[in-house]
A and B are shown apart, each in its own frame.
Chain A
Amino acid sequence: MVRRVAVVDSDLCVGCGSCMLACNRRFAEVGYGKTAIHIRSAGGVERGFVVIVCRACKNPPCAKVCPEDALLPRDGGGVRLIPNKCIGCGYCVEACPFGAILWDEEVDKPVICTYCGYCVEYCPYGVIEMREVS
């Protein structure tokens, strides 16, 4: 079985963005440019927050549209990016129905979640957890 980052309850989210900063900190950099998880308001802070992160699909639409086979489906769900195969066409971004693929402007390639769970360690309110892909 493989694991993914799952949203426990987005109503617990306060929108601090500690998860986004943590994801970016995997590269020991400060910012949002390399984050694979995205928090935004649900149309204004008063409506709460939306947590957008790769669901590790078993039949991933992003991989299906990749013309270079740069996104390899992972056994059990999810994908892995082969950066040197990626030509930066952005089809994967459009194919993901959740909008869970952000773009790394610096290298002009998608940011693909590696299911490492580093973001989970920095969520102070238990909004997200590591869960086996069912």
Chain B
Amino acid sequence: MAVKLPVNLARVLYVDLTRKRSWVEDRRDLIEEYLGGVGLAVALAREEGVERADPLGPENGIVFAVGPFNGAYPMGSKTVAVFRSPLTGNLGESYAGGRSSLAIKFAGYQAIVIRGASESPVYVAVHEDEVKFRDASALWGMSSSETVGRVIREREPNPGFRTIMRIGLAGERLVRFACVVTETYRHFGRLGLGAVFGAKRLKALVVSGRRSLEVPDRRGYREVYDELYELSTKSNLMRKYHDLGTPMNVLPLNEIGALPTKNLKSGRFEQAEGISGEHMAENYLIRRAACSGCPVACIHLAGIREPYPHEKYFYKTTVVSYDYEPTYSLGSMLGVGDAKRLLRLIHEVERVGLDAMSTGVALAWATEALERGLVREGDTIVKLRWGDAEAYRRAISLLVEQPNDFYSALAQGVERASQIYGGSEFAMAFGGNEMPGYHTGPAAHIGFLIGGRHSHLDNAGYSYDQKRAELPDPEQVVDDLMAEEAWRMVLNSLVVCLFARGIYRPEMVSKALDPLGIRRSVEDLRELGWRIYRERMRLKVDAGFDPSRLRIPDRIFETPSPHGLISPDYVQRALEHYHQRLKDICTP
């Protein structure tokens, strides 16, 4: 019989891949201080010494953490992973949904720490208190991450109550922006967690659990749940993300000239219509899916029906998940305006387990470098041309295979590749991380530069740009974005989906924590956000992050944004202010 656990879990599972051992520790000390999620993960990563680790060495640790709202409230559906990034060389932080967070929580853990490296390929299966190290030699080298998922699915118990996180060939071959795929269509996408798995020879992590956790204030809990359920299903947020999903952004962003196109030579794509959320839904959408615990169901699955070349009237249907980000990075950024071709590219990226954003941006840079003669066709092997999806599909395979110096360089990201081959003025990475799909104005780019993981979701500069006709002084922009990022540290400690940020306002978070036995005032929470922000940035700085060395690709100043041409002085002033503030914050 299982032991009854409280909803406010303090258990952390440690898995040592070198010694093939696992154990559980009670980390009430950290849970009480940081709630869970990113706050907890940063503290655990600090203990693991990730700031001193070689990202691909056995000493790099991976921390997966969930928080108090996972499983407890609607849209509490995310898991955070913290590690040292092989892409940027500093702190890695990535989020995914799928079944991951509820599986970890109901297995009875608030966090899972992975240490060491296995000598030969393994996958780890955690079924509540049971932890198994299983030989994955036969799974190593399989061409599709989807097949790997299927094999494990049939071999492991507890369907519906489990997560199957796995890597593809890209992770095995240490492409620095390889992702970890979970439940086929969700990803720990950014900053190269897949390569860290690959270096540890960890093919997959399966976690399942079906526990029922005790809540201190039972009545209060049900009341708050009902209020939040009502808000998440009746609000227009639900409609927005459910109907067209994130690709609803394609046309509006194109309209205002903020859709990065052909390596951001333009903010408008003449074929945007063909890859719009509307066109996709009308012609390809076959199913919607949700992360566990989230009624919104923003995951949109497209079906592409294709004939077999050698047999008449024989077809196969491939199911591909599409979102705004891959639509931008593998669509407009590469000049691919045909939905079916775009879906094939997304599928290829999914199969090999690459981050879609980094892949698209890397190929966009390569295309322009070839155009300008910085690299030759002998380097790229295939002739990369805007809109030539078949060439890009082959290039994705080459990126994984790395048959020559060029692809080996590109597999380290555009930052590194442009250091070797030139063209850094159009290498669209910020802090070493390839850019997301927003050229909305200066705040978006300032946001990418100063964000802890150089991601649009750190501080939503893209939204800041779009909500204002005129922007204030750059110093003010930085202050506002940092404040937003600090608050998001709280949301990321709970760990709620950031699409729910409009529902989880500070008052609501405080109220919803209460029945779970966690008393935090709005002021406490805001203060906690800043504390986690500080701890996380300190860890990033200790891992080698130096804001004075942030590179700004000239291209962002050449292509007009909805706020007009972005002034280099404005962005520079923002960075100087940020640098000063970061110093103040990180100095004890």
Binding site for B on A (CB under 8 A): 11, 14-18, 20-21, 24-25, 27-34, 38-41, 43-46, 48, 102, 105-108, 122, 124-125
Q: A15-B289, A31-B210 are in contact. List 6 more A-B contacts (CB 8 A).
A: A16-B296, A17-B290, A28-B215, A29-B213, A30-B215, A31-B212
Flag if B1 contacts A30 (CB, 8 Å).
Answer: no
CA distance A106 to B128 in the complex (A): 13
Q: A14-B289, A21-B71, A105-B2 are in contact. Are A46 and B301 (CB under 8 A)?
A: yes
Q: Which candidate, B221-229, B265-273, B379-387, B406-414, is the interface stretch facing chain A?
A: B221-229
Distance from A15 Cβ to chain B, minimum over Cβ atoms (Å): 5
Distance from B239 Cβ to chain A, minimum over Cβ atoms (Å): 12
Flag if B210 contacts A16 (CB, 8 Å).
Answer: no
Q: Which of B184, B209, B211 contacts A45 (CB 8 A)?
A: B184
Task: Collect the chain A residues with CB atoms within 8 Å of residue B215's CB.
Answer: 28-30
Q: Which of B2, B106, B233, B287 contacts A124 (CB 8 A)?
A: B233
Distance from A24 Cβ to chain B, minimum over Cβ atoms (Å): 6
Flag if B292 contacts A17 (CB, 8 Å).
Answer: yes
Q: Which of A32, A41, A44, A124 contacts B211 (CB 8 A)?
A: A32
Flag if A48 contacts B287 (CB, 8 Å).
Answer: yes
Task: Collect the chain A residues with CB atoms within 8 Å of residue B312's CB.
Answer: none
Does B310 belong to the interface (CB within 8 Å)? no
Residue of A nearest to B292 (CB): A17
Flag if A17 contacts B319 (CB, 8 Å).
Answer: no
Distance from A105 Cβ to chain B, minimum over Cβ atoms (Å): 4
Task: Collect the chain A residues with CB atoms within 8 Å of residue B221's CB.
Answer: 28, 30
Flag if B72 contacts A30 (CB, 8 Å).
Answer: yes
Closest A-B pairs by Cβ, 5 of them = A33-B212, A40-B160, A28-B218, A31-B212, A16-B290
Distance from B68 Cβ to chain A, minimum over Cβ atoms (Å): 10
Distance from B72 Cβ to chain A, minimum over Cβ atoms (Å): 5
Task: Collect the chain B residues with CB atoms within 8 Å of residue A48's CB.
Answer: 287
Task: Collect the chain B residues with CB atoms within 8 Å of residue A24's CB.
Answer: 212
Flag if A32 contacts B212 (CB, 8 Å).
Answer: yes
Which residues from 199 to 217 on chain B have a C-beta closer than 8 Å to any C-beta of chain A? 209-215
Task: Collect the chain A residues with CB atoms within 8 Å of residue B293's CB.
Answer: 16-18, 21
Flag if B291 contacts A16 (CB, 8 Å).
Answer: yes
CA distance A65 to B559 in the complex (A): 74
Flag if A45 contacts B301 (CB, 8 Å).
Answer: yes
Q: A21-B71, A28-B218 are in contact. Are A45 and B212 (CB under 8 A)?
A: no
Task: Collect the chain B residues with CB atoms within 8 Å of residue A105's CB.
Answer: 1-2, 210-211
Binding site for A on B (CB under 8 A): 1-2, 4, 7, 71-72, 74, 102, 106, 146, 149-150, 153, 159-161, 183-185, 209-215, 218-219, 221-222, 225, 229, 233, 238, 287-297, 299, 301, 319
Task: Collect the chain A residues with CB atoms within 8 Å of residue B297's CB.
Answer: 14, 16, 124-125
Q: A25-B222, A28-B221, A46-B301 are in contact. Are A40 and B211 (CB under 8 A)?
A: no
Flag if B213 contacts A31 (CB, 8 Å).
Answer: yes
Distance from A125 Cβ to chain B, minimum over Cβ atoms (Å): 8
Flag if A30 contacts B183 (CB, 8 Å).
Answer: no
Flag if A30 contacts B160 (CB, 8 Å).
Answer: no
Flag if B153 contacts A44 (CB, 8 Å).
Answer: yes
Flag if B150 contacts A44 (CB, 8 Å).
Answer: yes
Distance from A111 Cβ to chain B, minimum over Cβ atoms (Å): 10
Q: A40-B159, A48-B287 are in contact. Are A30 and B74 (CB under 8 A)?
A: no
Q: A25-B225, A39-B160, A41-B159 are in contact. Are A18 and B213 (CB under 8 A)?
A: no
Task: Collect the chain B residues with CB atoms within 8 Å of residue A17's CB.
Answer: 102, 160, 290, 292-293
Flag if A46 contacts B212 (CB, 8 Å).
Answer: no
CA distance A95 to B288 in the complex (A): 33
Question: What are 12 pairs between A and B in contact, CB < 8 Å?
Answer: A18-B229, A18-B293, A20-B160, A24-B212, A25-B225, A28-B222, A30-B7, A32-B209, A33-B211, A43-B150, A105-B1, A106-B4
Distance from B152 Cβ to chain A, minimum over Cβ atoms (Å): 11
Residue of B nearest to A48 (CB): B287
Q: Which of B2, B149, B213 contacts A30 (CB 8 A)?
A: B213
Residue of A nearest to B146 (CB): A44
Task: Collect the chain A residues with CB atoms within 8 Å of residue B102's CB.
Answer: 17, 32
Task: Collect the chain B residues with CB atoms within 8 Å of residue A20's CB.
Answer: 160
CA distance A125 to B229 in the complex (A): 13
Q: A40-B159, A46-B319 are in contact. Are A30 and B292 (CB under 8 A)?
A: no
CA distance A21 to B69 in the complex (A): 13
Flag if B153 contacts A33 (CB, 8 Å).
Answer: no
Task: Collect the chain A residues with CB atoms within 8 Å of residue B185's CB.
Answer: 45-46
CA distance A41 to B291 in the complex (A): 12
CA distance A20 to B185 in the complex (A): 22
Q: Which of B153, B184, B295 contacts A18 (CB 8 A)?
A: B295
CA distance A131 to B1 in the complex (A): 35
Distance from B158 Cβ to chain A, minimum over Cβ atoms (Å): 9
Task: Collect the chain B residues with CB atoms within 8 Å of residue A31's CB.
Answer: 71, 106, 210-213
Distance from A88 Cβ to chain B, minimum over Cβ atoms (Å): 9
Residue of B nearest to A105 (CB): B2
Distance from A22 Cβ to chain B, minimum over Cβ atoms (Å): 9
From B150, B297, B301, residue with most partner A Cβ within 10 Å: B297
CA distance A34 to B218 in the complex (A): 15
Flag if A32 contacts B106 (CB, 8 Å).
Answer: yes
CA distance A48 to B287 in the complex (A): 8
Task: Collect the chain A residues with CB atoms within 8 Å of residue B1's CB.
Answer: 105-108
Flag if A28 contacts B219 (CB, 8 Å).
Answer: yes
Residue of B nearest to A33 (CB): B212
CA distance A35 to B290 in the complex (A): 19
Flag if B2 contacts A33 (CB, 8 Å).
Answer: yes
Distance from B278 Cβ to chain A, minimum over Cβ atoms (Å): 20
Residue of A nearest to B217 (CB): A28
Q: A29-B213, A122-B229 are in contact. Are A14 and B2 (CB under 8 A)?
A: no
Distance from A47 Cβ to chain B, minimum over Cβ atoms (Å): 8
Residue of A nearest to B229 (CB): A122
CA distance A8 to B149 in the complex (A): 29
Distance from B404 Cβ to chain A, minimum over Cβ atoms (Å): 35
CA distance A102 to B297 in the complex (A): 26
Distance from B285 Cβ to chain A, minimum over Cβ atoms (Å): 13
CA distance A28 to B183 in the complex (A): 28
CA distance A125 to B225 in the complex (A): 18
Residue of B nearest to A28 (CB): B218
Task: Collect the chain A residues with CB atoms within 8 Å of residue B214's CB.
Answer: 29
Q: Which of A16, A28, A32, A125 contacts B161 (CB 8 A)?
A: A32
Q: A106-B1, A108-B1 are in contact. Are A14 and B290 (CB under 8 A)?
A: yes
Distance from A122 Cβ to chain B, minimum over Cβ atoms (Å): 7
Q: A14-B289, A28-B219 are in contact. Are A44 and B212 (CB under 8 A)?
A: no
